[in-house]
Amino acid sequence: MSEKQVEMSFWDHLEALRWTLVRSIIALVVFTIGGFMVMKYLFDTVIMAPCHADFVLYRFLCKVTTAVPLLPDFCDPSYNVDIINIKLASQFFTHISMSFYLAVLLTFPYLMYEVWKFISPALYEYEKKDVRWVFFFGTIMFFIGCAVGYYLVFPMTFRFLATYQLSESITEQVSLDSYVSNFLMLIFVMGVVFEMPLLSWLLSKLGVLNRSFFNKYRRHAIVGLLAAAALITPSSDPFTLACVFFPLYGLYELSAFFVKKAPPEIPETQELAKT
């Protein structure tokens, strides 16, 4: 360890933590205020976009399904979901909460940098090199996961559930609170799910996980991921299921790529000779 590490007392660490929290809170407050100012525009053009037939995923799938007649039809120009508000203060509090979550999303790299600054003095030089890449790779994977959640998982799930009809006597109207909660949950959950390769790498560095685990349980993982994809998008057609399953399975294989290979097994005769 360096001299700085040895000299830092408990109160020095506490002071460093305090300033880390202060800078992080200031960044969140500033970006929340900025998000509040532009949220009305973003809400209509970004957050509410999956409610309309001209959403980018629907237009892409329309071209695909037109070329392949066996696939489900996504070319309905009349598709539109009305979002209603049934609570007096919901729109105001939704405005504030969505501004905060937007701030969390935009400041995520900076927040990770603040965490890195706080823990880096306690690390050796070779540890800093590894952890630096962990934060960098983890941040990128988080944003990729959020993008997959927004452009693929949420609109596919939302479209199926919003168009599913149990009875013709039921008028489908989606509440604002329900829409926003599902929107945030699926997007941020996908952001966390995309950290799976990073978690696997960390477990591999600790010696808990190796590549033989992924090879051994690949069939089980395929069944589990198919079940997870079916829960995320409870649609009856295989095309919608495949759209969610393949990104999840790709994460599984990427996780297997980042972990260490299993150590070679020592024959029993060699073990007996050593003893």
Q: What is the DSSP string of 114-165?
A: HHHHHHGGGS-HHHHHHHHHHHHHHHHHHHHHHHHIIIIIHHHHHHHHHH--
CA nearest to 255, candidates 205, 199, 182: 199
Mean pLDDT along residues 238-261? 81
pLDDT band at 40 (very low <50, low <70, confident <90, very high): very high
pLDDT at 262: 67
227 three-class SS: helix
Q: What is the mean pLDDT of residues 195-206?
A: 79
Q: How far apart are the first and last CA of the chain?
A: 37
Q: Region 79-103: what's the mean pLDDT?
A: 92
Q: Answer yes or no: are the C-beta atoms of 135 and 108 closer than 8 Å.
A: no
pLDDT in tens, 100-158: 999 999 999 898 888 888 877 776 776 677 677 777 888 898 999 999 999 988 998 88
**Residue 245 burial by CB count (10 A; 0-12/13-18/19+): exposed, middle or buried?**
buried
Two tokens, residue 260: 């260490």
pLDDT tens by residue, 157-180: 888 888 888 888 888 888 999 999
pLDDT surpasses 50 at 99: yes
Per-residue buried b or exposed e for 85-108, using 16+ beta carbons within 10 Å of the residue's own CB: eeeeebeeebeebbbebbbebebb
Query: pLDDT tier at 206 (50, 70, 90 boundaries)?
Result: low
* Span 234-240, average pLDDT: 66
Alpha-carbon distances, residue 165 vs 146, 181, 240 (angstroms) = 29, 21, 18
| d(C-alpha 210, C-alpha 70), whole Å | 41
Alpha helices in the chain (DSSP H): 3-7, 10-42, 56-67, 90-119, 125-148, 154-163, 176-193, 196-205, 211-216, 218-232, 238-258, 268-274
- 57-74 mean pLDDT: 79
pLDDT at position 8 over 50: yes
Q: Is 47 helix (H, G, I), strand (E, B) or coil?
A: helix
Number of Cβ within a 10 Å radius of residue 150: 20
81 pLDDT above the threshold of 60:
yes
What average pLDDT does the structure give for the chain? 82
With tokens 């024959």, the residue in question is 267
What's the pTM value of the predicted model, to 2 decimals?
A: 0.79
Distance between CA atoms of residues 83 and 44, nearest Å: 11
Cα-based distances in Å from 111 to 6, 51, 73, 105, 204: 26, 32, 42, 10, 25
How much is the pLDDT for 98? 95
Mean pLDDT over residues 81-97, rounded? 92
Which residues, 6 or more positions from 102, have their beta carbon under 8 angstroms from its beta carbon? 31, 32, 35, 39, 42
In this model, does residue 91 exceed pLDDT 50? yes
Is the pLDDT confidence value at 85 over 70?
yes
Residue whose tokens read 């392949």: 68
Record the tokens describing residue 141, joined without a space. 């994977």
Average pLDDT, integer, range 219-229: 86
Residue predicted with more confidence, 183 or 64: 183
Q: Which two tokens stand for residue 203?
A: 């477990």
φ, ψ of residue 270 in degrees (nearest 5):
-70, -40
Q: Out of 93-107, 191-205, 215-229, 247-261, give the one with best mean pLDDT.
A: 93-107
Residue 12 identity: D
Q: If pLDDT is split at 50, 70 and 90, which confidence band does 2 have?
A: very low
Could you tell me which residue, 235 or 23, shows the higher pLDDT?
23
